[in-house]
Chains A and B, each alone.
Chain A
Amino acid sequence: MAALSSPLRVCRGILKELRAIQGPSYKQSLAYNYVMDQFRKNKVTGERYCRAQQEAHHASHTYLCLLSSTRNHLALHNLYHGKGERSPEEVANLVGLRLPTQPGGKGWEKAWQTGDCVIMDCFEGTPVVLSQLCSRRKGEGHDYDLIGSVFEATVKIQVMI
């Protein structure tokens, strides 16, 4: 016979789980009445070996395990698996990284806004807003037209909508 905790503890454990499931009105539930009934019927009346009582004890212990494990499993499920996929920020956070939020370095003069056409400057290796790039190039004395600039400076175009 496995070493189980005492019937009283098991009984209280089950009642605690039932309360967690059904809230304050748990005393009106079917399970409450049945469990209390069973525990009352199976009280030890003497020293004699009573197999039925051992069976009931083991069954009650199993039921307690079922209720508490289900509750814990559901809690962990909701905490870790119940929300679907994580966002990129959360994923980066998990391994101790942060996504770039502040624009910095060359080519980041201004963060782009919704509707801007953003291209990757392959010389600088940084994203840049297309209109800003054109105006900068013009300011530097180059007279690229828009198409030429894009053709020369991009490997990839990302359009932010």
Chain B
Amino acid sequence: MFRSLVRLQSQFGNALFLSKVCPRSQQSRFALKYSTAAAERKRFYQDVSISQGEGGLYEINLDRRKLKTPGGKLFTVPNEALAIAVATEWDAQRETLKFYTMHMTTLCNTALDNPTERNKDQMINAALKFLETDTVCYRVDEPHGLVELQKNEWDPVLHWIENRYNVTIGSSSSILGPEIPEATRDTFRQHLNSYNFWSLTGLEYVITQLKSVVLSLGMIDRHLSVEQAVLLSRLEEEYQIRRWGNVEWAHDYDMYELRARTAAGALFVHLSSESSTVKRKLLQD
């Protein structure tokens, strides 16, 4: 008995010893390559500051070190406002880094690294794909209350966007959805083409969050606030909540996450497309 215990211990000790030497190096390599949101790192810095580097681009400094993207590039953003928003996110971290709360940083990383290696045309096509299955175009036939709600809430936005871009979209309750004319798609394609790569990244992010081109453009064009856009995107869920009750750990959790992501996307689009012109105007005042 005692002998077997000793043998067991020695085996165990060996295993421990091995785990100290080899798997750890493997693990750290893994962590470096895929620094995911799941693996929480300690906050390894005290101060966060920004500085203007070459070409007028802004950089983020954590203590003395410069922030880099997961792809290993230097983290640079085109204007001060964006840099401050990112720096504030890094400053907001407590003991551990919670990457799932750092939406602006994530968006900048995506734009800088472009992990899926797509060009503008591919991104525009991906964004416009959502137009065929746009949330606000799909209506229900029953229950009556929801039909009314969708009509009252979604129709004004739909009309607004049809007037704003001079296009026809329409809505339908069939499973195939409304027939969207090619002219509409061309108009939107042309419009999206006027965005630069960064704002297109943000816009596509917003569209995938809200599952709607109409609501996203309505928000980017400042017709809707973030809260309104999120509410309209979750209209059916809100209807069910009103009927069956709210569950904080599911409904509210989802809503705040969606709001945060949508707001980050919208802000990212604004800051990376228009901020410099806005600033010049302000300085003239």
Residues of A near any B CB (own CB < 8 A):
1-4, 18, 21-22, 29-31, 34, 41-42, 45, 52, 54-56, 58-59, 61-63, 65-66, 69-70, 72-74, 76-77, 79-81
Contacts and interface: CB of A to CB of B under 8 A. Distances in A.
B101 A73 contact: yes
A80 B249 contact: yes
A55 B223 CA distance: 11
User: What are the 4 tightest A-B residue pairs by CB atom distance, in nearest-first order?
Assistant: A66-B263, A69-B260, A69-B259, A73-B256
B91 A29 contact: yes
Nearest to A30: B84
B259 A31 contact: no
B267 A59 contact: yes
B253 A73 contact: yes
A30 B49 contact: yes
Given A58-B222, A62-B266, A65-B227, 19 more contacts: A1-B223, A29-B88, A41-B285, A52-B278, A52-B281, A55-B274, A58-B270, A61-B226, A65-B226, A65-B260, A66-B226, A66-B260, A66-B263, A69-B256, A69-B260, A69-B263, A73-B257, A74-B98, A76-B249
Main secondary structure of the interface of B (DSSP, over half): helix
A65 B285 CA distance: 28
B8 to A, nearest CB: 14
Interface in B215-272: 222-228, 248-249, 252-253, 256-257, 259-260, 263-264, 266-267, 270-271
A76 B98 CA distance: 14
B80 interface: yes
Contacts, number: 103
A42 B275 CA distance: 13
Contact of B223 (A2, A34, A73): A2
Interface of B: 49-50, 80-81, 84-85, 87-88, 91-92, 98, 100-101, 103-104, 222-228, 248-249, 252-253, 256-257, 259-260, 263-264, 266-267, 270-271, 274, 278, 281-282, 285
Contacts of B50: 30
Given A2-B228, A18-B88, A30-B50, A66 B249 contact: no
Contacts of B84: 30-31, 34
B222 A55 contact: yes
Given A2-B228, A29-B88, A42-B282, A62 B253 contact: no
B249 to A, nearest CB: 4
A22 B252 contact: no
Contacts of B249: 76, 79-81
B112 to A, nearest CB: 20
Contacts of A42: 282
Nearest to A55: B278
B141 to A, nearest CB: 30
B253 A81 contact: yes
A10 to B, nearest CB: 11
A4 B225 contact: yes
B263 A30 contact: no
Given A21-B92, A34-B81, A70-B101, A2 B281 contact: no
Indicate the member of A41, A55, A63, A80 with the most B CB atoms within 10 Å.
A63
Given A29-B91, A70-B101, A34 B80 contact: yes
A135 B237 CA distance: 62
A34 B222 CA distance: 22
